[in-house]
Amino acid sequence: MPTRNGLVGRQLYRILFYGVIFTVLAVGVLAFWGVREIRRDAAVLAVENSARGLSGAVTVLVNAVTSANDEIDLKTLRSLSPESLRRTLSAMLKRYPNLASVMVSDGKGLRYMLTRQPDGAMEALPGRGDDPSTRWNFVKPDGELEPRDAAPDFNRKEMDGALAQELAALQPGQVRWRSASRFHKAGESWLTASSLVESDGEHYLMSYVFPINAVANQLEGAEKGGAERIFLYWTNGRVLPISGLGVTPEDGDGISRAYDAGAVPDPVVAEATRRLASGRAAEGKPFAYAVNGEAWWSYVLPLTVFGDTMALGVAVPRKNIVSALTSDSFLIFFGGFLALLAAAALVVLHRNKARIEAMGHRLRVARTAQDVLRLIAEGEGAGLEFKQTLRFNLKAGKNGREIEHASLKTVAGFMNSDGGTLLVGVADDGVVTGFEEDKFESPDKALLHFNNLFNQCIGTEFARYLDTAVIEVQGKSVLRAHCLPAKAPAFLRDGKTEEFYVRSGPASRQLSLVQFYEWLKKH
Residue 441's domain is classified under what CATH number?
A: 3.30.950.30
Whether residue 440 is found in the same domain as residue 475: yes
Q: Is 507 helix (H, G, I), strand (E, B) or coil?
A: strand
- CB contact set of 498 (below 8 Å; sequence gap of 6+): 491, 492
The answer to whether residues 59 and 183 belong to one domain is yes
Residue 167 included in any domain: yes
DSSP string, 178-219: EEGGGTBS-GGGEEEEEEEEEETTEEEEEEEEEEHHHHHHHH
Q: Is residue 192 domain-resident?
A: yes
Give CA 261 to chain center in angstroms. Answer: 35
Q: How far apart are CA 28 and CA 21, in angstroms?
A: 10
pLDDT per residue of the chain (523 residues) written in tens, 0 to 9: 333 333 455 566 677 777 778 877 777 666 665 666 666 777 778 788 888 777 777 767 667 666 777 777 777 777 888 888 888 888 888 888 878 889 998 888 888 999 998 889 999 998 876 667 888 999 998 889 999 887 766 778 888 888 888 888 888 877 777 765 544 444 446 778 888 888 777 888 888 888 777 777 777 667 777 788 888 887 777 787 875 444 444 433 344 567 788 788 889 999 998 998 888 888 888 898 999 988 898 988 876 644 456 788 889 888 777 655 555 566 677 677 777 887 888 888 777 765 665 555 555 688 899 999 999 998 999 889 999 999 999 999 999 999 999 999 999 999 998 888 999 999 999 999 999 999 999 999 999 999 999 999 999 999 988 999 999 999 999 999 998 888 899 999 988 899 999 998 889 999 999 999 999 988 7
* 106 inside domain: yes
Does a structural domain hold residue 1? no
Please tell me the total count of domains within the chain.
3
- Positive/negative CA dihedral, 205, 211, 216, 219: negative
**Across 59-107, where does the E strand assignment appear?**
101-106
Does 91 share its domain with 190?
yes
193 and 60 in a common domain: yes
Nearest-5° Cα angle at 364, 359 to 366: 175
Contact 408, 451 (CB under 8 A): no
Last residue of a domain, one of 355, 377, 398: 355
Beta-strand (E) ranges in 212-293?
A: 229-233, 238-242, 259-260, 287-291
Torsion of CA 348, 350, 352, 356, to 10 degrees: 120
Q: Quick one: 21 and 114 in the same domain?
A: no
Residue 360 lies in a domain: no
Alpha carbon distance 452, 460 (integer Å): 9
Domain match, 452 and 398 both? yes
Are 340 and 213 in a shared domain? Answer: no
Instruction: Identify the CATH number of the domain in which residue 196 sits.
Output: 3.30.450.20
Q: What is the pTM of this model?
A: 0.49
Structural domain including 236 reads 34-322
351 and 406 share one domain: no
Task: Note whether 234 and 113 are same-domain residues.
Answer: yes
Please choose, from the candidates 77, 101, 323, the residue with its C-alpha nearest in 3D space to the C-alpha of residue 194: 101
Q: Report whether 458 contacts 443 (CB < 8 A).
A: no
Show which of 301, 335, 355 is a domain's final residue: 355
- CA dist 161 and 208 (Å) reads 17
Examine the domain organization and report whether 385 and 315 are in the same domain. no
Regarding whether 414 and 281 lie in a shared domain, the answer is no
User: Do 61 and 208 share a domain, yes or no?
Assistant: yes
Query: For residue 432, is it within any domain?
Result: yes
Is position 75 within any domain? yes
